Each structure stands twice: as C-alpha cells, then as structure tokens.
Amino acid sequence: MRISLDQAPVGGSLRLAAVLHQPLQQRLSRMGLYRGCLLRREDEEVALQPVRVRGPAGEATLSAGMAAKVVVHHDDGHKTPVIEMLPGEAGHIEGLTSGTGLEQALATLGLHADDRIQLLRKIPPMRYTARLDAHRRLYFTESVAAKLWGELDGRHIQFANARRNHPFVIAAILGGDAARAQVAALGIETGSTLVLEHIAPANAVQSNCDDAGPRIVITTEDGLRLYLAQEQAARVIVDDQAQADAAQQTT
C-alpha cells in the first residue's frame, strides 16, 4: 500500500517511492535516500533518550518509551516519569502508565512496583551494528538494544550490555506489542543469535526546517537517523513492505 510517511506504521519496513517536494528530494538524495531504498519509521521514543538506572537487582537500561511510562515518587515527594528524572535522582516506582507488556519487561530486569530506583545517566543516540544468525548485518538504535533480552557467556543480560564478537541468543523481547513489532521488522525473534560487531555514536541528521513542531523519526537501512517535520513527512511517499509482501503471496 502506498502512503505518505506521516501516515506510515511505526516499526515496519518501508520502501521509498517518491518525494513530492524538489528541495526535500534533493536534500534526502544527498544523504543517500533514493527511490527504492528501505527505511523504517521509529516511534517517538527514539527522539528521546534511553536511560541507565539502578534498581534492587543492579543496573538496567530502559528505552525512552519504557522510561516515559514508569512513574517514580521522588524522595522529596514529587512524582515524575523516569524520563524526566535528573542523573542522581532517586525514588520508588509508584506505577506504570502502560499495560502488562511493560510490567513483564520490568520484572525481567528486576524492577517491580515500590522498588527503589535511581537514574544514573541518559544514553546518547548510538548505532549498533550486529550480525543476525551469522549471515545478515543489522543496524539499529540503542532503544532496540535495550529491548533485547538474552544469554551471553552463560549470563542473561540486555543486548545493550553485550560484548563484541560473542554470540547473544535472544530469549525475550522486552515490552508490549509495539516493541515486538519493531524488533520483528528487523528479522529478530526469540531464538535468534546476534553477534555485536560495533557501537558508535549515531549519525543523526535533522532536516533544516524552521518549524518547531513534532518530528517524524526514521532510520535508514544503514543506520542513518533522520528527523523530519510532519509537513515534510507528508510529502514523502512510501510503500508498506509488509502489506506489499502479503499481497504478493495471495496472488
């Protein structure tokens, strides 16, 4: 199905079909985005920052989406989501603004209601390069790395803490349906083996427009992260690869 980027689903594979604005088309092409290239629309959490926290079971990484839905009662009495905490601030988990998927993800990380939690730091945008099942190279963000729970060298950890060149077997995807769909779009599933090759600061490019409105965040197949104004995204036409593949199978 051909749709504008601002109406495209989050997390799925999209194929660039056209850019209905010549200056924007030229800017995107200079960054390697041409008709036919694959890209993925990220959810709003990618525009924010994942965080590193300390709980009763030790340190853990929360994607920005998770951190935005965990409400903490601070030591001085006020309440905020974890995403709004400052490094060094602490309190206890008051509640969640999401469902059982997030609750189960936190439990896997050793975090439960009323547990004490401290924000250690906010994690800058990073690009992970990994091999999937020894034959396919993937590029993804630090938010995705935080959602991958698995076994490495006999220990269960998040892929955000993986060691280079050591096989990491996926045991679970942390989060709800949106998180699982985002990870599935990369071809990663329970039982998959990832091998971390490289971590580097994300090559993030923000389009040079003057509006201060919401941004549509996309990542390209090689890990480039772009921030587009909603008006710009409406001029980018893409094909939803999932629907295109499904239609092809029925013909």
Domain ranges of the chain: 2-44+203-250, 51-122, 126-201
Backbone dihedral region for residue 18 (phi beyond 0: left; psi -120 to 50: alpha; all else: beta): beta
Please give the backbone phi and psi of residue 207, each rounded to the nearest 5 degrees, phi first: -65, 150
Specify whether the CB–CB gap between 13 and 187 falls below 8 A: no
Give me the pLDDT at residue 230, please: 87
Query: Comparing 55 with 177, which gets the higher pLDDT?
Result: 55
CB 69 within 8 A of CB 102: yes
State the pLDDT confidence band at 31, using cuts at 50, 70 and 90.
confident
Give residue 211's pLDDT band: very low, low, confident or very high (50, 70, 90).
very low
- Locus of tokens 């690869």: 241
Structure-token match 């660039």, residue found: 16
Distance, CA of 131 to CA of 228 (rounded, Å): 29
Best-predicted range by mean pLDDT (88-102, 108-122, 123-137, 211-225):
108-122
Strands (E), 24-89: 38-41, 51-55, 58-62, 70-74, 79-81
Does the 2-44+203-250 domain belong in CATH 2.30.30.90? yes
Torsion of CA 205, 211, 217, 221, to 10 degrees: -40
Percentage of the chain modeled with pLDDT above 70: 90
More confident residue, 21 or 202: 21
Classify residue 32 by burial, with Cβ atoms within 10 Å: 0-12, 13-18, 19+.
exposed
State the burial class of residue 142 (Cβ atoms within 10 Å of its Cβ: 0-12, 13-18, 19+). buried
Residue 251 predicted with pLDDT over 70: no
Indicate if the pLDDT at residue 184 is higher than 70: yes
What pLDDT does 221 receive?
84
Two tokens, residue 25: 């088309």
Which has the closest alpha carbon to 215: 62, 38, 41, 14?
Answer: 41
Where do runs of H (alpha helix) occur along the chain?
22-30, 64-69, 100-108, 142-147, 177-184, 230-233, 241-250
pTM of the model: 0.74
pLDDT band at 21 (very low <50, low <70, confident <90, very high): very high
Q: Give the model confidence (pLDDT) of 57-91 as tens digits.
A: 999 999 988 998 898 999 898 888 898 899 999 99
Whether residue 5 contacts residue 234, with contact meaning beta carbons closer than 8 Å, is answered with yes
pLDDT tens digit string along 118-160?
999 999 889 999 999 988 999 998 989 999 999 999 999 999 9
Average the pLDDT over 92-101 and give the result: 86
